[in-house]
């Protein structure tokens, strides 16, 4: 079971999204997806930006500046050992919720297989 990212359908028209420009939006969306995929609850360590930038098609030399743009727009917050995506857990499932859902699905599938073997 994969994790999903929730995104407001008005994202592209939001003043913050408009202020960060196309490359900023691409980097932000890539960070959202990376965080969801890696179950980080919106935390993005400094070591992840190279991968996130590459996924977004952002040149390595531009990533740091764009991260600063995202911070300035209030879409990211520095937290000492990286950044946190603003309100990530208000709209996306937490690591613990995703893992609990995966475990419940695994148990359902095991029960179903067991019933089929009878």
Where are the domains positioned within the chain? 13-93
Q: Please report the pLDDT score of residue 1 as a whole number.
A: 61
Lowest mean pLDDT among 15-24, 72-81, 107-116: 107-116
Mean pLDDT, the chain, rounded, equals 94
Instruction: Give the integer Cα–Cα distance in Å for 100 and 103.
Output: 5
Q: Please report the pLDDT score of residue 117 as a whole number.
A: 80
Task: Tell me the mean pLDDT in the region 11-32.
Answer: 97
Structure confidence by residue, pLDDT tens digits, 45-67: 999 999 999 999 999 999 999 99
Pair 4, 91: CB distance under 8 Å: no
Predicted TM-score (pTM) of this structure = 0.86
Is the CATH number 1.10.10 carried by domain 13-93? yes
Residue 48 backbone dihedrals phi, psi, to 5 degrees: -90, -15
């Amino acid at each position: 079971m994969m994790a999903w990212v929730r995104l407001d359908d008005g994202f592209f028209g939001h003043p913050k999204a408009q202020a960060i420009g196309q490359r900023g939006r691409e980097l932000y969306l890539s960070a959202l997806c990376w965080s969801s995929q890696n179950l980080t609850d919106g935390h993005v360590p400094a070591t992840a930006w190279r991968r996130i930038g590459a996924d977004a098609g952002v040149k390595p030399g531009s990533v740091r500046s764009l991260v600063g743009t995202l911070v300035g727009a209030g879409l990211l917050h520095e937290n000492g050992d990286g950044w946190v995506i603003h309100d990530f857990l208000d709209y996306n499932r937490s690591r613990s919720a995703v893992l609990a859902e995966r475990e419940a699905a695994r148990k359902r599938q095991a029960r179903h297989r067991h019933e089929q073997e009878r």
